[in-house]
Amino acid sequence: MKLIVIRHGRTKHNVQGRLQGQRSNEPLSLEGIDEVRVALEKISEHQPSVLYSSPLKRARETANIIAKEFGLSVAERNELMERDFGSLTGLTWDEIANMGHAKLRELDKSFAYDYRRFGGENVDNVRSRIKKLLKDFSVIHTDETIACVTHGGIIRILYDVLEVEQPETTANASVHVFEIENFHSKNPFNLIKKI
């Protein structure tokens, strides 16, 4: 299966450096809409046959632009939602550091985060839902090209789950393409190549 993963376009909170997570339902900014339109060219190189999206507004608006371009309908999957930061949603990393939680940013970068004490989720919860999603896709869409609109934190976890070197950036409206084959071993996914 070929998996095209697209990060949603920019929002006002992205520009301000605020954590959006699952609890923020910001729309795309005008710049974000333009970014998605530019990304259509790269997506068209792979001709998706099915399109999934996080149900959050910024992702859904991105998916709607893609759907219109390729004549696809959009199916929502909760597994594609951004990580839940709990009560830290809407704050910047500087504001979080000023609250006495300066180490959280490094924990986040190193996939050692745990936002449960703030009412959010931990990295294991996120990994589990991404693995479930990939397993579902490998059964339902074995030989298809799947496009998924999701969030920066989810894209980073996807690279981690597939044991692929992290990209330098997961910028808004960035496009990440993988060829994945299912096999039955300790790791249920065999990454054929990162395109």
pLDDT > 70: percent of the chain: 93
Say what the pLDDT of residue 183 is.
41
Catalytic residue among 8, 61, 121, 176: 8
Beta bridge partner(s), residue 148: 5, 52
Residue list, annotated binding site for substrate = 7-14, 58
Helices (H), the chain: 12-16, 30-44, 57-70, 93-98, 104-109, 123-140, 152-161
Cβ distance 175 to 40 under 8 Å?
Answer: no
Say what the pLDDT of residue 190 is.
59
Q: What is the arithmetic mean of pLDDT over 123-137?
A: 94
pLDDT band at 181 (very low <50, low <70, confident <90, very high): confident
Q: What angle do CA 87, 90, 95 make, to 5 degrees?
A: 85
pLDDT band at 142 (very low <50, low <70, confident <90, very high): confident
Cβ distance 57 to 26 under 8 Å?
Answer: yes
| DSSP calls for 39-59 | HHHHHHTT--SEEEE-SSHHH
Say what the pLDDT of residue 169 is.
87
136, two tokens: 């579902």
Over residues 74-87, the pLDDT tens digits come to 999 999 999 999 99
Residue 8 bears catalytic tag: yes
pLDDT band at 184 (very low <50, low <70, confident <90, very high): very low
Tell me the whole-structure pTM to 2 decimals.
0.93
Q: What is the arithmetic mean of pLDDT over 53-61?
A: 99
Q: What CATH number is associated with residue 56? A: 3.40.50.1240
Check pLDDT > 60 for residue 48: yes
**What's the domain count of the chain?**
1
pLDDT band at 185 (very low <50, low <70, confident <90, very high): very low
Catalytic residue among 82, 121, 151, 176: 82
The b-or-e profile of 13-43 (16+ CB within 10 A means b, else e) is: bbeeebbbbbbbebebbebbbebbeebbeeb
Residue range(s) defining the domain that contains residue 101? 2-194
